[in-house]
Chain A
Amino acid sequence: MFNPRPAQAEILCYTKGLMGISAVPGSGKTHTLSALAANLIINNPLEDDQEILIVTLVNSAVDNFATRISSFLTQNGLLPDLGYRVRTLHGLAHDIVRERPDLVGLSDRFTIVDEREANDILNSSTQAWLRGHPILHDTYFDADIPANRVSQAEKDWPEVMVNVARSIIRTAKDRQVTPDMLQRLLAEIADPHPLLVMGSDVYTSYQQALNYRSAVDFDDLIRMALAALNADPAYLDRLRYRWPFILEDEAQDSSRLQEEILRLLTGQQGNWVRVGDPNQAIYETFTTASPQYLMNFLKEEAVTPCSLPNSGRSTESIITLANHLVDWVREFHPHIELQEALTLPHIQPTPPDDPQPNPTDNPQAIFIDQGKPLDSEGEINWVIRSVARWLPDHQDSTVAILTPRNFRGAEVVEALKKANLPYVELLQSSLTTRQTAQLLAQILRLLADPGNPTLLANCLQAMLVRHEESSDQKLYAKTLAEQLKRCVRTEEFLYAQPGQDWLDTISPQQLPMDQRDELVKYREQIIRWQQASLLPVDQLVLTIAQDLFIQPSDLALTHKIALLLDHDAGIHPDWRLLEFSQQLEAIAHNERKLAGFTDEDSGFDPEAYKGKVVVATIHKAKGLEWDRVYLMSVNNYDFPSMEDYDTYISEKWYIRNQLNLEAEAVSRLMGIIQHDPFLITLPEGDATRAARIEYCAERLRLLYVGITRARRELCITWNTGRNGRCLPAIPLTALQSFWKERSNRGSSA
């Protein structure tokens, strides 16, 4: 049973209208929001065709919400699955568009391209454009690039242009501007900015490529959902009726379109509860997401503001450190533009007798001074040594190493491997996608060449180890596969004539009963798939999937694969199973991340990995917590602070005047869309500076998020970077001094 704290109980009294909740990390907002959803279902008898709509940020939170709400409903004697719907914004947009694709000109079989596919299309469109405009870089390259580095800059240039094109396309879509409209807008200007001309042309060919595939990308999905709601007021009315209450989690990362969609769905007299922590807004760069939407909402007259200030997650020391970061930023950050990056309220520890009290405090468990500066490798070695010392005595505790970027995480993983320490990756997890595609590819390959004993055996082995990582299971699978490889005449195993069953020729000593049963089961499955092999390939894949998979993410992935293969079959009527299996292998080997279908979707529970080191980016760690946390690379490259000596990822060394071309292009695009001459003629460099402020502010919040992942122990480290010139981030220095002073005070007291 949920025993709410006073602040949580106040929120649970909500019955209707607009409410905005400012929540600190670890304040139990998911739990409170789930309890609120259940309360509303229990106390507001909805019609059978009505639901509470819960919108959250990432897929991993969807399952989490559903599980909690179901549990509350069951405790109250109701059916667990009815009366609510949990969706990410993309999931919600998909629901809206899927129900009336005709309103936005889509077919009923439209597909969503994943990031990889979208990038492939964007890359090829941009490269094609650059081939026709080979001297564009002359306009932007620094005149002083050393001669021996020019070719490197030229090699790097297309990637910069792809990023510029991507930002232009995303912004245009966010503003509901189609390729045609953008071309027309540019035609109205005497001398359009060269990057906008490039972006506009690439946008046109990119969108044509999507149309050809009958596909949309994620940005399309959102803008089309909004277009569908605006196109037909009657449809909007129907959805308003269906979702009389909207609960929005992680509202600090709400984007302009998300806010617009939810505002439309809520209507004038509607019921909308938004929960978020502006200090955890870490998805803003080059998106239209902004914590400002939540902050503005909280100030609206009709909105009841509430807060969840208590957190039982961390020790008081860790809470103090996080609160000090907020205070320091707001009062002492050397750059006034960044003083609003973090906001009040402070995190408050739980009141006495709280059901989930803070862990026992231990100020010694905070470490933010590694002593001498360390280079990149040195920092990793330091962290690995530290965790290796700690781990043996803490097999029942959780630990994570958090890095600001993926590649750094990958380096940590390599080092953990070398040190032979147990670890779990939570980086760009596409392992399931690869495995699923690989397994399906293997099965199709077997169906293409059904008499091949090696393929038959390999397939068995792959199926047996799919969910089992244990070495015992691997050995068992290998043994069984080796056994099966010996069956040269596969028909005598699969379709034996009377008295010729291959299994009967093997003695029980060679093949124990359990293994024999396993082979019999496998045989039945293969026979069934072989019988299905005459079906169209998409249907064959779905048939196989029904037998193999039970996880929604696997089923969804297979469905997507089936649609891809069906599309291929339409384009290549001459393709047969072999070609389709090769196509699947390409997906598997490309490590293609089919969007929405990654490990993160099923939710990640740190508690399941006690005694192992979890490696993740700080972004991926959001919403999670560990007993001990290492925060790495807190230097002025990954956490810059607007100092003159800071460098920025988006500013390339070979571009003149340290211009951030994405920012420059997007600001001019906004000027054109909004018919704002000020923005169109903004002096070069102003947009770059504005982007720096935005980026630095977000990195401060990222640091805050990183610190608040720790329950009991926290280590923060930094490195001097590739060129050895990086310094500790300014906020880190401030925290170090604060902590040192506090410790000194404590010891002297």
Chain B
Amino acid sequence: VTTRLSISNSHNEPETTLSGSFYVHGPAGCGKTTLGVTRLLSLVQQGIRADSILILVPQRTLGLPYLNAARSPSFPPGGQPAVVTLGGLGQRLIDLFWPAISHPAGFKKPRQRPDFLTLETSQYYLSRLVRPLIDQGYFQSISIDRNRLLGQILDNLNKAAGTGIALTSLADRLKAAWVGKPDQLHIYDEAQECALKFREFCLENNLLDFSLQLEVFCHHLWPSFLCRQLLTSQYRHLIYDNVEEDVPVVHDVIREWLPHFESALLILDDNGGYRSFLGADAASAQEIANLCENKIHLTNSYIAPPAMQAFSEGLSNILLREWNQPVNPSARKVFRFTHHRFATQMIHSIAGEVKRLIDQENVPAGQIAILSPYLSDALRFSLMHELDLLGVTSRSHRPSRSLRDEPAAQCLLTWACLAHPQWEFPITTQDVRGAFMLSIDNLDLVRADLLAQIVFRPKRKPNYLGSFDTITAEMQERITFRVGQRYEKIRAWLEDYRSGKELPLDIFISRLFGEVLSQPGFGFHQAFDNAAVAARLIESIRKFRWATQTTLEHEKSPVGQEYIQMVSEGILAAQSLQPYEEQLDDAVLIAPAHTFLMTNRPVTVQFWMDIGSQGWWERLFQPLTHPIVLSRRWNPAEKWTDAHEYASNQQALARLTAGLIHRCSGKIYLCTTGLNENGDEQRGPLLKAVQTLLRRLPVEKAGDHV
């Protein structure tokens, strides 16, 4: 069956039946993904088997619109399209072709099944290898926490796999680009040595981390006739969305595969490249897009009105130092600038304005996003608390947050420790008090403390928790019977559990959550953020169990105990699971700006907090790796100087702000503070660019200064 795709530029409306390959590009909000989804539906409606359609995305959650379409009742019955990342596709095929490829790929136990590692389980195994080296003095000259250290070693493995640069040449490449103190050079060698040790360990134990999955796919599966035959015959139609967010080896595969598809639609975001710190390469994406027979440029935004686009353009020109470009005065209509001396005042003012927007301008809460470069606990707490006082529901989204720092995770793990006294983790009254506070709805700190002081007996192992019924009537009255009743329910559940067979930790938490804590009257019932943390925790433990059970059983260590130990040491963070899942509840979103972008969800109003913060501009601190030096377009003979750093940061900021602005349909509030939490003045590049923009715009009321 041949399909055709034609697109009317004026309405961005797809019509059916065009054959061949298409490259569609445009800014965010111009309907590219909508077009992709429409394309999927029209293909299926024309009788094409859904399971012959491959929908490729660089990250699982970017496939959500396609999955939602395929799961909708209107989707024709029959098969389902494959909505996958190349890594995901690779996993399926590795499993399938394992007997054929395991030996040539260098695995030492080709007769045993492979185990696929997540980022966390990779970190776990890597930490076991790296720990003795750190004790020997490795990485002593840099100060970085363990979790970040492991993450960057894995990052180097992934970058090598994603670009095709040899793993053994990474250190030389990084050293050649280094202009700082020469006594730092050895850390690159140390990082490479750790990466190679880890690779060796994986090959010996049939473990496949992300980098190895990608390498096995590219070097052993894709070149194999059998595998290629299977793929090209199975998938006849391709929709590849957000091509610019993928790594170049995936682009290489698609370059070769493209001629074999009956139809292909490649979608690129003009301002994309947000995942470049993970190795995404917009330049190589452009190269394969250029191979398409038809090119379509979408310019009309469904989201951002012309004035918003003028604002985006004006700000980008200033950031990229194209100062002779005029600024369209309409840009002034879509943003408002507010200055406060202190963060507390800024938070107070934002909360008040959010309330006003909801009450007086009827903006739904879910259409408001409050964004900042980083979202610290203090900032998040203060903002949510302030909104809460005004009766505004909010939720926050922080995928890079470590589990160890999540009170909800600590609460669940405290219950796990209480239920498994044999693991012998130290539990303090304060931990128990925290668990009470979060588990029992509306329980305040004073009563939680009273209850914990009375019922918790750390030395009364295994029955740590006493009964509420046995405490004095006066205390019962002070704590209240409502609280006592709920406490008793949890205690009874735990006692019941302990009398039965020990369950895997993830199942224990799932049951406790489902049967008690998520029920009315308990703390997780209406707490969406906490429920999300619980879900992340459960998934993290489950994957940890799958990947380590064999090893740990061999070592006779309970998986749950090892997991909690790793979390408390900060090695397991569960920070990359379900990272950008879409949530549609009607609550104000509070998120780091970058995270918001990756959710790819437009809103009516955005607040940009602390635009004077240097955080909007500076790159992540990555002493062991480098996103650009370890990319294909980097000349290995060149030094990475401040000129590169500056240009790259300015471009990243221009890309970030354009991405945000194109995802806003109404108004953007630009908020600054004179002093940050450190007491320092705030004069970062974004603030300066906004100031330049303001000076170039016709004089109006310049903003609100408080």
Task: Given A105-B183, A235-B642, A535-B378, check contact A554 B449 (CB 8 Å).
Answer: no
Contacts A/B (CB < 8 Å), 23 sampled: A102-B180, A102-B623, A106-B143, A107-B142, A107-B623, A178-B183, A211-B143, A231-B179, A231-B180, A232-B642, A234-B644, A237-B642, A451-B450, A491-B444, A494-B446, A530-B444, A534-B434, A534-B438, A546-B677, A550-B342, A554-B679, A556-B679, A570-B570
**Which residues in chain A, 70-127, are within 8 Å of chain B measured between CB atoms?**
81-82, 85, 99-110
- Is B674 part of the binding interface, using a Cβ–Cβ cutoff of 8 Å? yes
| Residues in A neighbouring B681, C-beta threshold 8 A | 81, 85
| Residues in B neighbouring A451, C-beta threshold 8 A | 446, 449-450, 453
- Of A246-254, A319-327, A537-545, the one touching chain B: A537-545
Q: Are A237 and B614 neighbours in the complex by a CB distance under 8 Å?
A: no
A366 to B377 Cα, complex, angstroms:
61
Q: Are B444 and A556 neighbours in the complex by a CB distance under 8 Å?
A: no
| Residues in B neighbouring A746, C-beta threshold 8 A | none
B residues whose Cβ falls under 8 Å from a Cβ of A = 140-145, 179-181, 183-184, 341-344, 376-378, 381-382, 385, 405, 407, 410, 426, 428, 430-431, 434, 437-438, 444-447, 449-450, 453, 478, 480, 568-570, 614, 618, 621, 623, 641-646, 674-675, 677-681, 683, 685, 688-689, 691-692, 695
Tell me how far the C-beta of A142 lies from the nearest C-beta in chain B, rounded to whole angstroms.
43
Task: Given A235-B641, A555-B679, A574-B426, check contact A543 B381 (CB 8 Å).
Answer: yes
Task: Given A448-B430, A559-B678, A577-B430, check contact A531 B623 (CB 8 Å).
Answer: no
Q: Are A232 and B179 neighbours in the complex by a CB distance under 8 Å?
A: yes
Selected contact of A107 from candidates B144, B183, B444, B685, CB within 8 Å: B144
| Residues in A neighbouring B689, C-beta threshold 8 A | 48
- Is A489 part of the binding interface, using a Cβ–Cβ cutoff of 8 Å? yes
Q: Are B183 and A536 neighbours in the complex by a CB distance under 8 Å?
A: no
Q: Chain A, 501-545, contact with B by CB distance < 8 Å: what is the 0/1 string?
A: 000000000000000000000000001101111111001101101
Task: Given A534-B407, A559-B677, check contact A546 B645 (CB 8 Å).
Answer: no
Q: Chain A, 440-466, contact with B by CB distance < 8 Å: what is the 0/1 string?
A: 000000011111000000000000000
A553 to B679 Cα, complex, angstroms:
7
A110 to B431 Cα, complex, angstroms:
30
Query: 4 extra interchain contacts, Cβ-Cβ under 8 A, other than A108-B621, A570-B570?
Result: A48-B688, A82-B691, A234-B646, A553-B679
- Is A497 part of the binding interface, using a Cβ–Cβ cutoff of 8 Å? yes
- Is A552 part of the binding interface, using a Cβ–Cβ cutoff of 8 Å? yes
A-B CB proximity, top 10 nearest: A556-B679, A214-B143, A235-B642, A539-B377, A555-B679, A234-B643, A108-B621, A234-B642, A234-B641, A534-B407
A495 to B447 Cα, complex, angstroms:
9
A528 to B386 Cα, complex, angstroms:
10
Q: Are B405 and A238 neighbours in the complex by a CB distance under 8 Å?
A: no
| Residues in B neighbouring A85, C-beta threshold 8 A | 681, 683
| Residues in A neighbouring B444, C-beta threshold 8 A | 491, 494-495, 527, 530
A109 to B679 Cα, complex, angstroms:
15
Tell me how far the C-beta of B349 lies from the nearest C-beta in chain A, rounded to whole angstroms.
14
A494 to B443 Cα, complex, angstroms:
12
Tell me how far the C-beta of B137 lies from the nearest C-beta in chain A, rounded to whole angstroms.
11
| Residues in A neighbouring B450, C-beta threshold 8 A | 451, 491
Q: Are A105 and B142 neighbours in the complex by a CB distance under 8 Å?
A: yes
Task: Given A546-B344, A553-B679, check contact A532 B381 (CB 8 Å).
Answer: yes
Q: Are B674 and A81 neighbours in the complex by a CB distance under 8 Å?
A: yes
Q: Are B183 and A542 neighbours in the complex by a CB distance under 8 Å?
A: no
**Which residues in chain A, 426-449, are within 8 Å of chain B measured between CB atoms?**
447-449
Report the nearest B residue to A601, measured CB to CB.
Answer: B679
| Residues in B neighbouring A535, C-beta threshold 8 A | 377-378, 381, 407
- Is A573 part of the binding interface, using a Cβ–Cβ cutoff of 8 Å? yes
Interface centre among A102, A233, A237 (most CB of B within 10 A): A102
A107 to B646 Cα, complex, angstroms:
19
Report the nearest A residue to B570, measured CB to CB.
Answer: A570
A490 to B478 Cα, complex, angstroms:
10
A residues whose Cβ falls under 8 Å from a Cβ of B = 48-49, 81-82, 85, 99-110, 178, 180, 211, 214, 227-228, 231-238, 447-451, 489-491, 494-495, 497, 527-528, 530-536, 539-540, 542-543, 545-547, 550, 552-557, 559, 570, 573-574, 576-578
A200 to B414 Cα, complex, angstroms:
49
| Residues in A neighbouring B140, C-beta threshold 8 A | 211
Selected contact of B381 from candidates A81, A227, A231, A539, CB within 8 Å: A539
A527 to B478 Cα, complex, angstroms:
17
| Residues in A neighbouring B405, C-beta threshold 8 A | 536
Selected contact of B445 from candidates A110, A531, A578, CB within 8 Å: A531
Task: Given A48-B695, A100-B645, check contact A450 B446 (CB 8 Å).
Answer: yes
Report the nearest B residue to A213, measured CB to CB.
Answer: B143
Selected contact of B675 from candidates A105, A238, A539, A555, CB within 8 Å: A555
| Residues in B neighbouring A178, C-beta threshold 8 A | 183
Task: Given A491-B444, A535-B381, A577-B430, check contact A211 B685 (CB 8 Å).
Answer: no
Q: Are B646 and A238 neighbours in the complex by a CB distance under 8 Å?
A: yes
Q: Are A536 and B377 neighbours in the complex by a CB distance under 8 Å?
A: yes
Q: Are B446 and A545 neighbours in the complex by a CB distance under 8 Å?
A: no
Report the nearest B residue to A529, measured CB to CB.
Answer: B445
| Residues in A neighbouring B378, C-beta threshold 8 A | 532, 535, 539-540, 542-543, 546
Q: Are A49 and B688 neighbours in the complex by a CB distance under 8 Å?
A: yes
A539 to B480 Cα, complex, angstroms:
31
A539 to B405 Cα, complex, angstroms:
10
A549 to B430 Cα, complex, angstroms:
27
Report the nearest A residue to B644, measured CB to CB.
Answer: A234
| Residues in A neighbouring B618, C-beta threshold 8 A | 99, 108
Report the nearest A residue to B405, measured CB to CB.
Answer: A536
| Residues in B neighbouring A214, C-beta threshold 8 A | 143
Tell me how far the C-beta of A359 lies from the nearest C-beta in chain B, rounded to whole angstroms.
38
A110 to B142 Cα, complex, angstroms:
10
A214 to B444 Cα, complex, angstroms:
38
A613 to B689 Cα, complex, angstroms:
50
Tell me how far the C-beta of A73 lies from the nearest C-beta in chain B, rounded to whole angstroms.
15
| Residues in B neighbouring A110, C-beta threshold 8 A | 143
Report the nearest B residue to A98, measured CB to CB.
Answer: B614
Tell me how far the C-beta of A574 lies from the nearest C-beta in chain B, rounded to whole angstroms.
6
| Residues in A neighbouring B646, C-beta threshold 8 A | 234, 238
| Residues in B neighbouring A104, C-beta threshold 8 A | 180-181
| Residues in B neighbouring A105, C-beta threshold 8 A | 141-142, 180-181, 183-184, 623
A40 to B568 Cα, complex, angstroms:
56
A556 to B681 Cα, complex, angstroms:
11
A528 to B426 Cα, complex, angstroms:
29
Task: Given A100-B642, A491-B447, A534-B434, check contact A555 B180 (CB 8 Å).
Answer: no
| Residues in B neighbouring A49, C-beta threshold 8 A | 685, 688
A545 to B569 Cα, complex, angstroms:
28
| Residues in A neighbouring B677, C-beta threshold 8 A | 542, 545-546, 555, 559
Tell me how far the C-beta of B56 lies from the nearest C-beta in chain A, rounded to whole angstroms.
35
| Residues in A neighbouring B692, C-beta threshold 8 A | 48
Q: Are A491 and B446 neighbours in the complex by a CB distance under 8 Å?
A: yes
A85 to B678 Cα, complex, angstroms:
17
| Residues in A neighbouring B144, C-beta threshold 8 A | 107
Task: Given A48-B695, A106-B143, A107-B623, check contact A99 B614 (CB 8 Å).
Answer: yes
Report the nearest A residue to B146, measured CB to CB.
Answer: A570
A533 to B449 Cα, complex, angstroms:
12
| Residues in A neighbouring B142, C-beta threshold 8 A | 105, 107
Q: Are B614 and A555 neighbours in the complex by a CB distance under 8 Å?
A: no
Tell me how far the C-beta of A345 lies from the nearest C-beta in chain B, rounded to whole angstroms.
37
Tell me how far the C-beta of A599 lies from the nearest C-beta in chain B, rounded to whole angstroms.
15
| Residues in B neighbouring A533, C-beta threshold 8 A | 445
Report the nearest B residue to A576, measured CB to CB.
Answer: B430
A233 to B641 Cα, complex, angstroms:
8
Report the nearest A residue to B323, measured CB to CB.
Answer: A47
A533 to B452 Cα, complex, angstroms:
15
A376 to B379 Cα, complex, angstroms:
56
| Residues in A neighbouring B410, C-beta threshold 8 A | 534
| Residues in A neighbouring B478, C-beta threshold 8 A | 489, 491
| Residues in B neighbouring A99, C-beta threshold 8 A | 614, 618
